[in-house]
Structure 1
Amino acid sequence: MATVFTKIINGELPGRIVHSDDRVAAFLTIAPLNAGHTLVVPRAEVDEWTDLDPEVWSHAMTVAHTVGRALKRAFDAPRVGLIVAGFEVPHAHIHVFPAWSMSDFDFAKVQHDVPAADLDAAHQKLLTALR
Protein backbone atom coordinates (compact mmCIF):
# COMPACT_ATOMS: atom_id res chain seq x y z
CA MET A 1 0.00 0.00 0.00
CA ALA A 2 1.34 3.42 -0.94
CA THR A 3 2.37 5.77 1.85
CA VAL A 4 0.68 9.14 2.35
CA PHE A 5 3.85 10.74 0.95
CA THR A 6 3.66 8.69 -2.25
CA LYS A 7 0.02 9.67 -2.63
CA ILE A 8 0.98 13.36 -2.31
CA ILE A 9 3.87 12.98 -4.78
CA ASN A 10 1.58 11.19 -7.27
CA GLY A 11 -1.16 13.81 -6.94
CA GLU A 12 -3.64 11.40 -5.31
CA LEU A 13 -3.74 13.64 -2.23
CA PRO A 14 -3.38 17.42 -2.23
CA GLY A 15 0.04 18.80 -1.45
CA ARG A 16 1.90 22.10 -1.54
CA ILE A 17 4.81 20.91 -3.67
CA VAL A 18 7.85 23.16 -4.05
CA HIS A 19 10.15 20.74 -5.92
CA SER A 20 9.68 17.57 -7.93
CA ASP A 21 12.03 15.52 -10.06
CA ASP A 22 12.52 11.85 -10.93
CA ARG A 23 14.16 11.01 -7.56
CA VAL A 24 12.60 13.25 -4.89
CA ALA A 25 9.81 15.70 -4.16
CA ALA A 26 9.59 18.46 -1.57
CA PHE A 27 6.35 19.76 -0.10
CA LEU A 28 5.11 21.65 2.93
CA THR A 29 3.91 19.59 5.87
CA ILE A 30 0.41 20.13 7.24
CA ALA A 31 1.82 19.92 10.79
CA PRO A 32 4.69 22.43 10.77
CA LEU A 33 7.16 23.34 13.47
CA ASN A 34 7.23 26.82 11.86
CA ALA A 35 5.71 28.34 8.74
CA GLY A 36 7.45 26.96 5.66
CA HIS A 37 8.35 23.58 7.23
CA THR A 38 9.09 21.41 4.21
CA LEU A 39 9.61 17.68 3.77
CA VAL A 40 12.07 16.36 1.19
CA VAL A 41 10.92 12.86 0.27
CA PRO A 42 12.52 10.29 -2.03
CA ARG A 43 10.07 8.82 -4.52
CA ALA A 44 11.32 5.35 -3.54
CA GLU A 45 9.21 4.00 -0.68
CA VAL A 46 12.03 3.13 1.69
CA ASP A 47 11.28 3.32 5.41
CA GLU A 48 14.71 4.18 6.82
CA TRP A 49 17.05 6.73 5.25
CA THR A 50 20.02 4.45 5.89
CA ASP A 51 18.48 1.91 3.48
CA LEU A 52 18.19 4.39 0.61
CA ASP A 53 20.52 4.26 -2.36
CA PRO A 54 23.38 6.65 -1.41
CA GLU A 55 22.97 8.61 -4.65
CA VAL A 56 19.27 9.20 -3.94
CA TRP A 57 20.09 10.25 -0.38
CA SER A 58 22.78 12.62 -1.64
CA HIS A 59 20.34 14.15 -4.10
CA ALA A 60 17.70 14.52 -1.36
CA MET A 61 20.24 16.41 0.75
CA THR A 62 21.10 18.65 -2.20
CA VAL A 63 17.41 19.50 -2.60
CA ALA A 64 17.13 20.04 1.19
CA HIS A 65 20.06 22.47 0.93
CA THR A 66 18.36 24.44 -1.85
CA VAL A 67 15.06 24.51 0.05
CA GLY A 68 16.86 25.49 3.26
CA ARG A 69 18.54 28.48 1.64
CA ALA A 70 15.18 29.61 0.24
CA LEU A 71 13.46 29.14 3.62
CA LYS A 72 16.09 31.29 5.29
CA ARG A 73 15.48 34.09 2.78
CA ALA A 74 11.70 33.74 2.63
CA PHE A 75 11.14 33.77 6.39
CA ASP A 76 14.11 35.92 7.41
CA ALA A 77 15.30 33.17 9.74
CA PRO A 78 18.75 33.20 11.36
CA ARG A 79 19.04 29.41 10.90
CA VAL A 80 17.41 26.53 9.09
CA GLY A 81 16.78 23.29 10.91
CA LEU A 82 17.21 19.86 9.38
CA ILE A 83 15.96 16.69 11.06
CA VAL A 84 15.72 13.09 9.94
CA ALA A 85 13.39 11.35 12.36
CA GLY A 86 11.16 8.97 10.41
CA PHE A 87 8.82 7.77 13.11
CA GLU A 88 5.61 9.39 11.94
CA VAL A 89 5.44 8.00 8.37
CA PRO A 90 7.25 4.83 7.23
CA HIS A 91 8.81 6.59 4.25
CA ALA A 92 12.25 8.22 4.54
CA HIS A 93 12.11 12.02 4.59
CA ILE A 94 14.03 15.12 5.65
CA HIS A 95 12.41 17.90 7.67
CA VAL A 96 13.67 21.37 6.65
CA PHE A 97 12.33 24.42 8.50
CA PRO A 98 13.17 27.99 9.46
CA ALA A 99 14.50 28.20 13.02
CA TRP A 100 15.07 30.97 15.53
CA SER A 101 16.09 28.85 18.55
CA MET A 102 16.67 25.27 19.69
CA SER A 103 13.06 25.12 20.88
CA ASP A 104 12.05 25.18 17.20
CA PHE A 105 13.39 21.60 16.95
CA ASP A 106 10.82 20.21 19.42
CA PHE A 107 8.27 18.02 17.63
CA ALA A 108 6.00 18.26 20.67
CA LYS A 109 5.38 21.83 19.47
CA VAL A 110 4.13 21.05 15.96
CA GLN A 111 1.16 23.14 14.93
CA HIS A 112 -1.94 21.09 14.19
CA ASP A 113 -4.97 22.47 12.36
CA VAL A 114 -3.06 25.30 10.65
CA PRO A 115 -5.54 27.20 8.45
CA ALA A 116 -5.22 26.34 4.76
CA ALA A 117 -4.76 30.04 3.96
CA ASP A 118 -1.68 30.16 6.22
CA LEU A 119 -0.20 27.05 4.58
CA ASP A 120 -0.94 28.50 1.14
CA ALA A 121 0.76 31.78 2.06
CA ALA A 122 3.87 29.95 3.31
CA HIS A 123 3.86 27.85 0.12
CA GLN A 124 3.76 30.95 -2.09
CA LYS A 125 6.46 32.66 -0.04
CA LEU A 126 8.76 29.66 -0.42
CA LEU A 127 8.03 29.27 -4.15
CA THR A 128 8.93 32.92 -4.65
CA ALA A 129 12.22 32.47 -2.78
CA LEU A 130 13.05 29.36 -4.82
CA ARG A 131 12.74 31.29 -8.11
Structure 2
Amino acid sequence: MSTTDVKQLAGLFHLTLHSGGAPGAPTDTLNLTVYTPKREVTGYSLVTQATNPPLHVASHVTGTLIYETVTGPGSKIRIDLNGWPEIHWPPQGGIGPVIPQNYKAILVLEPNYASGVIRYEYRTDLSGPWHVVEQPVHAA
Protein backbone atom coordinates (compact mmCIF):
# COMPACT_ATOMS: atom_id res chain seq x y z
CA MET A 1 0.00 0.00 0.00
CA SER A 2 1.54 3.31 -1.03
CA THR A 3 1.38 6.50 1.03
CA THR A 4 -1.09 8.07 -1.42
CA ASP A 5 -3.41 5.05 -1.07
CA VAL A 6 -3.37 5.32 2.73
CA LYS A 7 -4.43 9.01 2.74
CA GLN A 8 -7.86 8.09 1.34
CA LEU A 9 -8.76 5.56 4.04
CA ALA A 10 -12.11 6.17 5.73
CA GLY A 11 -15.05 4.03 6.75
CA LEU A 12 -13.98 0.41 7.30
CA PHE A 13 -10.46 -0.58 6.27
CA HIS A 14 -7.66 -3.02 7.03
CA LEU A 15 -4.43 -1.62 8.51
CA THR A 16 -1.26 -3.68 8.90
CA LEU A 17 1.53 -2.13 10.98
CA HIS A 18 5.03 -3.33 11.91
CA SER A 19 7.18 -1.94 14.69
CA GLY A 20 10.94 -1.86 14.38
CA GLY A 21 13.78 -1.26 16.73
CA ALA A 22 17.36 -2.28 17.28
CA PRO A 23 18.42 -5.65 15.87
CA GLY A 24 17.34 -8.39 18.27
CA ALA A 25 14.68 -6.23 19.93
CA PRO A 26 11.08 -7.45 20.14
CA THR A 27 8.82 -6.46 17.24
CA ASP A 28 5.06 -6.07 17.10
CA THR A 29 3.00 -6.88 14.01
CA LEU A 30 -0.55 -5.56 14.10
CA ASN A 31 -3.35 -6.61 11.75
CA LEU A 32 -6.18 -4.23 12.50
CA THR A 33 -9.65 -3.43 11.19
CA VAL A 34 -10.41 0.27 11.64
CA TYR A 35 -13.99 1.52 11.53
CA THR A 36 -13.75 5.32 11.48
CA PRO A 37 -17.49 6.20 11.82
CA LYS A 38 -17.63 4.64 15.30
CA ARG A 39 -13.88 5.05 16.00
CA GLU A 40 -13.53 1.33 16.75
CA VAL A 41 -10.44 -0.80 16.16
CA THR A 42 -10.20 -4.60 16.42
CA GLY A 43 -7.61 -7.08 15.30
CA TYR A 44 -4.60 -9.14 16.18
CA SER A 45 -1.17 -8.41 17.66
CA LEU A 46 1.87 -10.66 17.48
CA VAL A 47 4.94 -9.73 19.52
CA THR A 48 8.01 -11.74 18.53
CA GLN A 49 11.70 -11.78 19.32
CA ALA A 50 14.52 -14.03 18.13
CA THR A 51 15.61 -15.34 21.53
CA ASN A 52 16.01 -18.79 23.00
CA PRO A 53 13.26 -19.75 23.62
CA PRO A 54 11.62 -17.53 20.98
CA LEU A 55 9.22 -14.86 22.19
CA HIS A 56 5.72 -15.30 20.76
CA VAL A 57 2.88 -13.32 22.38
CA ALA A 58 -0.34 -13.44 20.36
CA SER A 59 -3.32 -11.30 21.37
CA HIS A 60 -6.79 -10.43 20.15
CA VAL A 61 -6.95 -6.63 20.47
CA THR A 62 -9.72 -4.07 20.65
CA GLY A 63 -9.44 -0.34 20.98
CA THR A 64 -10.43 3.21 20.24
CA LEU A 65 -9.46 5.60 17.47
CA ILE A 66 -8.85 9.18 18.67
CA TYR A 67 -8.15 12.25 16.51
CA GLU A 68 -5.66 14.49 18.34
CA THR A 69 -4.37 17.98 17.83
CA VAL A 70 -0.78 18.26 19.00
CA THR A 71 1.65 21.08 19.65
CA GLY A 72 3.37 22.02 16.43
CA PRO A 73 2.23 21.43 12.88
CA GLY A 74 -0.55 19.02 12.07
CA SER A 75 -2.61 16.53 13.96
CA LYS A 76 -2.13 12.88 14.84
CA ILE A 77 -4.22 9.73 14.98
CA ARG A 78 -4.08 7.89 18.28
CA ILE A 79 -5.13 4.30 18.74
CA ASP A 80 -5.37 2.81 22.23
CA LEU A 81 -5.41 -1.01 22.26
CA ASN A 82 -5.99 -3.68 24.89
CA GLY A 83 -5.39 -7.34 24.21
CA TRP A 84 -6.07 -10.78 25.60
CA PRO A 85 -4.65 -14.16 24.60
CA GLU A 86 -6.72 -16.06 22.10
CA ILE A 87 -8.70 -18.86 23.67
CA HIS A 88 -10.38 -21.70 21.81
CA TRP A 89 -13.34 -22.49 24.01
CA PRO A 90 -15.78 -25.24 22.97
CA PRO A 91 -19.13 -23.89 21.70
CA GLN A 92 -21.08 -25.66 24.46
CA GLY A 93 -18.39 -25.12 27.11
CA GLY A 94 -20.27 -22.57 29.19
CA ILE A 95 -19.05 -19.17 30.29
CA GLY A 96 -15.36 -20.07 30.57
CA PRO A 97 -12.49 -18.78 32.68
CA VAL A 98 -11.50 -15.17 33.27
CA ILE A 99 -8.37 -14.53 31.20
CA PRO A 100 -6.03 -11.73 32.34
CA GLN A 101 -4.94 -9.10 29.84
CA ASN A 102 -1.56 -9.76 28.16
CA TYR A 103 -1.14 -6.73 25.87
CA LYS A 104 -1.60 -2.93 25.92
CA ALA A 105 -0.55 -0.35 23.33
CA ILE A 106 -0.77 3.30 22.43
CA LEU A 107 -0.08 4.20 18.80
CA VAL A 108 0.42 7.78 17.64
CA LEU A 109 0.21 7.84 13.85
CA GLU A 110 0.49 10.43 11.11
CA PRO A 111 -2.91 11.39 9.60
CA ASN A 112 -2.22 9.08 6.62
CA TYR A 113 -1.75 6.06 8.96
CA ALA A 114 1.61 5.30 7.28
CA SER A 115 4.02 5.86 10.19
CA GLY A 116 4.31 6.85 13.81
CA VAL A 117 5.32 5.57 17.22
CA ILE A 118 4.03 2.66 19.27
CA ARG A 119 4.42 2.11 23.00
CA TYR A 120 3.35 -1.41 23.84
CA GLU A 121 3.40 -3.60 26.91
CA TYR A 122 3.19 -7.37 26.95
CA ARG A 123 3.61 -10.19 29.38
CA THR A 124 4.55 -13.77 28.70
CA ASP A 125 3.16 -15.15 31.96
CA LEU A 126 -0.36 -13.96 32.72
CA SER A 127 0.58 -13.18 36.30
CA GLY A 128 4.12 -12.00 35.47
CA PRO A 129 5.61 -8.54 34.99
CA TRP A 130 4.82 -6.25 32.09
CA HIS A 131 7.59 -5.62 29.52
CA VAL A 132 7.48 -2.11 28.01
CA VAL A 133 8.74 -1.28 24.51
CA GLU A 134 8.62 1.99 22.52
CA GLN A 135 9.48 1.86 18.82
CA PRO A 136 8.75 3.48 15.48
CA VAL A 137 5.93 1.84 13.54
CA HIS A 138 5.12 1.84 9.82
CA ALA A 139 2.38 0.53 7.54
CA ALA A 140 3.15 -2.65 5.66
TM over 0.5: no
Higher relative contact order (CA 8 A, sep 6+): 1
**If the length of structure 2 is used for normalisation, what is the TM-score?**
0.31
More strand by share: 2
More helix by share: 1
Q: Compare CA radii of gyration and give the structure with the larger one.
A: 2
**If the length of structure 1 is used for normalisation, what is the TM-score?**
0.33
